[in-house]
Amino acid sequence: MANPIQHQTIKVGLVGLGFMGSSIIASLLALRIPVRAIAPFKEEQEAGLLRIKEQLILCEKFNLLKAPVESYLELLTVSSDYAALSDCDLVVECVIEDIDIKETVFKKISSNTKIETILASNTSAIPISQLQKLVPHPERFIGIHWAEPACGTRFLEIICGEDTNERTVNTVKGWALNWGKEPTVLRKDIRGFITNRLMYAVYREILHLVENGTTNIEDADKCFRYDAGSWMTLMGIFRRMDFEGLKDHLTTLKRIFPQLSNSDEVPEQMLQLVNENAKGIQNGKGFFTYTEKESKLWAEAFSEFNGDIFHLAAKYPERLFIENDTENIK
Amino acid sequence: MANPIQHQTIKVGLVGLGFMGSSIIASLLALRIPVRAIAPFKEEQEAGLLRIKEQLILCEKFNLLKAPVESYLELLTVSSDYAALSDCDLVVECVIEDIDIKETVFKKISSNTKIETILASNTSAIPISQLQKLVPHPERFIGIHWAEPACGTRFLEIICGEDTNERTVNTVKGWALNWGKEPTVLRKDIRGFITNRLMYAVYREILHLVENGTTNIEDADKCFRYDAGSWMTLMGIFRRMDFEGLKDHLTTLKRIFPQLSNSDEVPEQMLQLVNENAKGIQNGKGFFTYTEKESKLWAEAFSEFNGDIFHLAAKYPERLFIENDTENIK
């Protein structure tokens, strides 16, 4: 993996200063990448700037900065004028998940940028294949999906639309590696991408097991915290099978696949919670209940844990396990 | 959670000194619990003792011991005579997954123990409901399923057979808490228990996505390492939904459940690997390939990572998040 500090000095444009947009901007600034941010209204710009500062303070807490927070903010311009994007190598759209709004935004982006500029969306709701039809030269359009907090996780999904070309994929993958990410490339523009889909497969099975009384939600959570959690950050899922032995796994897969839940339906308990306005830690009402203080404790713990696991993962980079730097992938 | 040191001094019998049996014994000895181990042959006893010592050295490496390894071995007796089990409060069967052998073993166990002794199996292949019929008073029979290494993970599944009574469940759950475990109770004796079933739901989906060319195994592994892995050890799965907000999750679950793989079949790639005698890191041939040195590096890294994540998880015990120690479970 390339050293995240030795990146090319590309210029990135980012449209939308919401929660995710601000997080992405901070993660780029922390790498000393100049960012031109676009938001239409003064209030949005001010709220965004505040969030970006908070995120940079988080980067500092994670020991990702080499200079004071303020010096990173100097690399940022915030404007309502899309002309600020004219010299960008990459522009990422990060506005709300509304196709009409995105259409307006991409028209403004493409009329204010060079035709070589790579255009991207952080959407997780609208197909890339659909969005790319909104711009000239759709082959340079791609999905880039960050996880939160963008600076504190190496995860990044790169999603190809049906018109995206290989050059665009390789360029974005190269940038992502330079940003210190471990990107996953999706060749097909599937709903939920990879990571969410895999978790939804887990949710389908566990919701079914809790609904039929096999276990309860408290005990179910322990399985993933203390079992899957004990190897996941080291290995991933295919290597886990390599580690445990393929033959036994095959026998069990064959036996268990036909027994897994194939339900299309979300269980009643979850529908009822949402009908009762349960918003999880946000309003203290979810699968578990939380006082205001407890919600705050969980949010703080997640931020701290994220820093911990980020540095723990750094102790075990893939290259440590490759003898003679030979190509290790089957 | 009770302090793992203030446990009742129960005596535990363990039949079978294989890899898992030795790991369980070491984890109990590390808590200063006397163990009577049974293995029929001298060679098996000697190999077992060696493994137990290795596992205790691992416990020492994880900072779980307060005295030299040898002092823990004094709490262990190894014998071929089942009469050694006569004063045990709990006897755990940990022999190979063969119903006829288990039947012989349980006959010997039950004729050498008190009728109050709780009898358990570490099986993951044979239903507890079937095994418990082999002993008098089947209501005191239960499944206890450790993960490897037994000393280095808080995970433990407690599996009820159809005849297991509540008193047995509560007693074993109490012991498990005293051992510093975070047990998951299974009210139904389902194949794969909880944690394996959830992972098999993941495997069904990812094998499907790799087979249809959406991504490749290398990129797939990164999703779980760097995304799911970034929260799992802190939160579990239901709390993750509480954390992210239930309403958006519900919308996505409804949309994605019908798109998930419902296949009963294991993809060709995996069948072929097993046919070609791929055993993963054991023989260097799996989803990935490994030189001998690389296999060794992965095994060593897993052992070290296990210690790291064990201690990282200890930074975030559930009770930290409970205001006023009130009952927090919905």
Q: Alpha carbon of B164 to those of A79, A210, B15, B120, B189: distances in Å?
A: 68, 20, 21, 11, 10
HSE, side-chain direction, 13 A CA sphere, residue B18: 11
Place of tokens 């790639």: B269
- Minimal Cβ distance to B230: which of A155, A236, A323: A155
Which chain A positions have a beta carbon within 8 Å of B183's beta carbon?
219, 222
pLDDT at A142: 98
State the CATH class of domain A198-320: mainly alpha
Of the partner residues A184, A222, A266, the one whose CB lies closest to the CB of residue B184? A222
Q: How far apart are CA B154 and CA B152, in angstroms?
A: 7
Instruction: Read off the pTM.
Output: 0.89
A49 is written with which tokens?
């700037």
For the record, the structure tokens of B125 come out as 């292949």
Q: Who among B155, B197, B301 is closest to A316 (CB)?
A: B301
Distance CA A168, CA B302 (A): 36
Residue B119's pLDDT is 98
Contact B257 A234 (CB under 8 A): no
Contact A231 B305 (CB under 8 A): yes
Distance from the Cα of A114 to chain B's closest Cα (Å) equals 30
Of B306, B303, B322, nearest to B54 (Cα)?
Answer: B303
C-alpha gyration radius of chain B: 21
CB atoms within 10 A of CB A94: 25
Residues of chain A with Cβ-Cβ distance to B253 below 8 Å are: 200, 203-204, 266, 270
Dist CA B141 CA B92 (whole Å)? 10
Q: Do the beta carbons of residue B13 and residue B35 sit within 8 Å?
A: yes
Residue A124, pLDDT score: 87
Interchain CB distance below 8 Å, B202 and A198 = yes
Mutate: best of A279, A309, A315, partner B, most B CBs <10 A: A309
B96: distance to nearest CA of chain A, Å? 14
Q: Does domain A12-186 have CATH number 3.40.718.10?
A: no
**Could you give the residue range(s) of every CATH 1.10.1040.10 domain in chain A?**
198-320
Q: Do B301 and A329 touch (CB under 8 A)?
A: no
Given this model, what pLDDT does residue B116 score? 96
Superfamily of domain B197-320: N-(1-d-carboxylethyl)-l-norvaline Dehydrogenase; domain 2 (1.10.1040.10)
Whether residue B209 and residue A232 make contact (CB cut-off 8 A), yes or no, is no
pLDDT at position B319 is: 80
Of A212, A243, A250, which is closest to B298 when you measure between CB atoms? A243
State the complex-level ipTM: 0.89
d(CA B183, CA A201): 23
Q: So what's the pLDDT on residue A328?
A: 43
Q: How far apart are CA B36 and CA A106, in angstroms?
A: 72
Asked if B198's CB is within 8 angstroms of A287's CB, the reply is no
- Token duo for residue A117: 């500029």
CA distance A172 to chain B (A): 15
Measured in angstroms, the CA of A276 and the nearest CA of chain B are apart by: 11
Q: Each residue of B175-189: b (16+ CB within 10 Å) or e?
A: bbbbbbbbbbbbbbb
> Hey, is A291 helix, strand or coil?
coil
- CATH 1.10.1040.10 residue ranges of chain B are 197-320
The residue assigned the tokens 């959690």 is A229
What residue ranges in B54-210 does DSSP mark as E strands?
76-79, 90-93, 118-121, 141-146, 155-159, 182-186
Instruction: Provide the angle, in degrees to the nearest 10, between the axes of the packed helices B292-314 and B42-61.
Output: 60
How does strand A76-79 pair with strand A35-38?
Answer: parallel
Q: Phi, psi (5° rounding) for residue A35?
A: -125, 130
Max Cα-Cα span within chain A: 61
Q: How many other C-beta atoms can be found within 10 angstroms of the C-beta atom of residue B50?
A: 12
* pLDDT tens series, chain A, 330 aa: 334 444 558 999 999 999 999 999 999 999 999 999 999 999 999 999 999 999 999 999 989 999 999 999 999 999 999 999 999 999 999 999 999 999 999 999 999 999 999 999 999 889 999 999 999 999 999 999 999 889 988 999 999 999 999 999 999 999 999 999 999 999 999 988 899 999 999 999 999 999 999 999 999 999 888 999 889 999 899 999 999 888 888 988 998 999 999 999 998 989 999 999 999 999 999 999 999 999 999 999 998 999 999 999 989 988 888 886 544 443
The pLDDT assigned to A324 comes to 67
Peptide bond into A149 cis (omega under 30): yes
User: Counting one residue from A and one from B, how many pairs have CB atoms under 8 Å apart?
Assistant: 425
Q: Which amino acid is at A245?
A: G
Tokens 């012989």 sit at which residue? B104
Residue B118 contacts residue B142 (beta carbons within 8 Å) = yes
Residues A267-279 pLDDT 10s = 898 999 999 999 9
Q: In chain A, which residues have their Cβ closer than 8 Å to the Cβ of B223?
A: 155, 157, 184, 194-195, 198, 236
Residues with Cβ within 8 Å of B157's Cβ and at least 6 positions away in sequence, in order, are A223, B143, B144, B145, B183, B184, B185, B186, B193, B194, B195
Q: What is the pLDDT of residue B125?
A: 86
Note whether B302 contacts A231, CB cutoff 8 Å.
yes
Cα–Cα dist A73/A199, whole Å: 36
The pLDDT, as a whole number, for residue B15 is: 98
Task: Provide the residue-wise pLDDT of chain B in tens; the chain has 330 residues.
Answer: 334 444 558 999 999 999 999 999 999 999 999 999 999 999 999 999 999 999 999 999 989 999 999 999 999 999 999 999 999 999 999 999 999 999 999 999 999 999 999 999 999 889 999 999 999 999 999 999 999 889 988 999 999 999 999 999 999 999 999 999 999 999 999 988 899 999 999 999 999 999 999 999 999 999 888 999 889 999 899 999 999 888 888 988 998 999 999 999 998 989 999 999 999 999 999 999 999 999 999 999 998 999 999 999 989 988 888 886 544 443
Count of alpha carbons within 13 Å of A315, Cβ hemisphere only?
17
Write out the residue limits of the CATH 3.40.50.720 domain(s) in chain B: 12-186
B289 touches B232 (CB < 8 A): no
Structure tokens at B222: 């990164």
Q: What is the pLDDT of residue A166?
A: 97
The residue whose two tokens read 């100097």 is A74
pLDDT reported for residue A1: 38
Inter-CA distances, B234 with A218, B47, B259, Å: 13, 37, 29
